[in-house]
Amino acid sequence: MYSLQEVMAAKSIAVFGASRDPFKPGSMLIQVLKDTGFQGEVAGVNPQGGQVYKIPLYRTIGEIPFAVDLAALIIPPAAVPQALRECAVKGVKGVVISSEGFAESGQEGKRYQAQIQVILQETGMRCFGPNTLGIVNTETGLTTSYFADRRMLKPGSIGFAAQSGIFVGALLRYLGSWRIHISKGFGLGNKVDVDESDVLDYFTEDEQTRTVGLYLEGIRDGERFMEAARRAAARKPVVLLKGGRSAEGAVALASHTASLALDDAVLDGALRQAGILRMQDIEELLGTLIGFDWTALPRGNRVAVVTYSGAQAILCVDRAMELGLELARFTDETQRKLSAVIPTGYKRQNPIDIFPDMMARGFEETALGILKALLEDDGVHGIIFISFAIFGSDAYRPVVKLLEGRMNKPVFFSTFGAREDVEACRELLLAHRVPWVSLPETAARALAHMWRYARWAGVA
């Protein structure tokens, strides 16, 4: 059996389903591989022959004049078994089956999927899917997603795997809009072969990957997964978002990727024991990934909250306390430094209220004075800064400059105001790898996860 390392290092790819029509998915994938800079060899497979985007289309994979490491199958389910047999003869190491219509669709689809399993077992080829856009390797520009673009393939250090057919297209594009860049990406689909345990083992050994994110709907082998999870979490943070928590969600996932529901309470306990951090929604997932990837782990659970609004601070503090965080108590030296920009005594307690004292010195001087003081206080382990967006993104440029190279503890920003002002602040902060989240409570959840992992891994 080939290893995932061999598949992900593929230097050549054949695309079944490419045609002379440039708008067919297979042809679009060929264009993506050209546009995103894949340096390996590419060919299409189509019984009619021809070419698309100046890439030859061979009538069979056997006619391709070079060795093929990886095959992308974007063809009807009924044609997949024979295509797999031809791939095996050619010496293909891995295949991605993008087609839908297998076990998730009914009895006929289940029969096709069973045939696939037999062929894979006999040949040792590795397989992603069916029902997935497949894989991404940002080190080499390799992808089997015909929705990919250059921004999605910008190299990063977050490994992500999802049991969702569209992940390597839509969700990966969304991650890119948050300036979250991945190392490797896997779409698992129906998991006829490669599953969550396989990719966890891969990520554990992958040097480019420093943090692992997972979206799963089911776990094929619970014992094996927990063993892989413990190994991975001992080396790097692993965060998991799982669908199908509710009874209705469990019914929906059965028709999505043919997954079986798990007892959610049992799963929660097992994940905690394995050191896996469970997310409740995509916003929490994104905030936590950013925290791990862009900042240092907290050395403790004491946080400082900076705010312009008492209500926002109260909601944030409530959430932080529920999650096991505590409000930091500032040293006399920190209080002295804060008094230079917040002269009102009770306003510089934790949470620090910057309004109205900020009006005397302006946002920039006030924000910089507070941040410097909190960064230098060893009794503050994380900072949540809730602020106006009405000053525009330029007001945050000195903040960005201060934090670049000085992120010795997690610092999260949450800005409020008109949509266009918030968006401008968000773009500036994220572009400079300063964590931004839409709600302060999300920052509290991310910090709590980071503290939990630091404690579990014995680094705090």
* Number of domains observed in the structure of the chain: 2
Same domain flag for 306 and 420: yes
Predicted local confidence at residue 169, as pLDDT: 65
Tell me the sheet residues that pair with 127. Answer: 95
What is the per-residue burial (b if ≥16 Cβ within 10 Å, else e) of 136-154? bbbebbbbbbbbbeeebbe
- Do 97 and 116 form a contact (C-beta atoms < 8 A)? yes
Same domain flag for 150 and 190: yes
Same domain flag for 251 and 334: no
Same domain flag for 167 and 314: no
What's the pLDDT tens digit per position in 403-438?
Answer: 998 889 999 999 999 999 999 999 999 999 999 999
Q: Which of 279, 309, 343 is the C-terminal boundary of a domain?
A: 279
Q: What is the pLDDT along the chain (460 residues), one digit of tens a residue?
A: 999 999 999 999 999 999 999 999 999 999 999 998 899 999 999 999 999 999 999 999 999 999 999 999 999 999 999 999 999 999 999 999 998 888 887 888 899 899 999 999 999 999 999 999 899 999 999 999 998 888 888 999 999 999 875 666 677 788 888 999 999 999 999 999 999 999 999 999 999 999 999 999 889 999 999 999 999 999 999 999 997 555 544 444 444 444 444 577 788 888 999 999 999 999 999 999 999 999 999 999 999 999 998 899 999 999 999 999 999 999 999 999 999 999 999 999 999 999 999 999 999 999 999 999 999 999 999 999 999 887 778 999 999 999 998 889 999 999 999 999 999 999 999 999 999 999 999 999 999 999 999 999 887 6
Dist. CA 334–CA 328, nearest whole Å: 11
Dist. CA 339–CA 52, nearest whole Å: 68
Dist. CA 143–CA 32, nearest whole Å: 8
Same domain flag for 31 and 108: yes
The candidate with the shortest Cα–Cα distance to 178, out of 381, 446, 449, 418, is 446
Q: Which structural domain, as residue segments, surrounds residue 202?
A: 4-279
How far is Cα of residue 219 from the mean position of the Cα atoms in its chain? Answer: 18
**How far are the Cα atoms of 317, 345, 427, 435 from residue 389, in angstroms, in the given order?**
21, 25, 12, 15
DSSP assignment of 393-429? GGGGHHHHHHHTT--SS-EEEEEESSHHHHHHHHHHH
Q: Which of 279, 305, 321 is the C-terminal boundary of a domain?
A: 279
Same domain flag for 347 and 382: yes
What's the pLDDT tens digit per position in 177-223?
Answer: 899 999 999 999 999 999 999 999 999 999 999 999 999 988 999 99
Tell me the sheet residues that pair with 222. Answer: none
The candidate with the shortest Cα–Cα distance to 436, out of 419, 411, 405, 418, is 411
Q: Which of 279, 307, 322 is the C-terminal boundary of a domain?
A: 279
68 lies in a domain?
yes
What's the farthest any 2 CA atoms get from each other in the chain? 80
Same domain flag for 272 and 316: no
Predicted local confidence at residue 119, as pLDDT: 97
Same domain flag for 137 and 216: yes
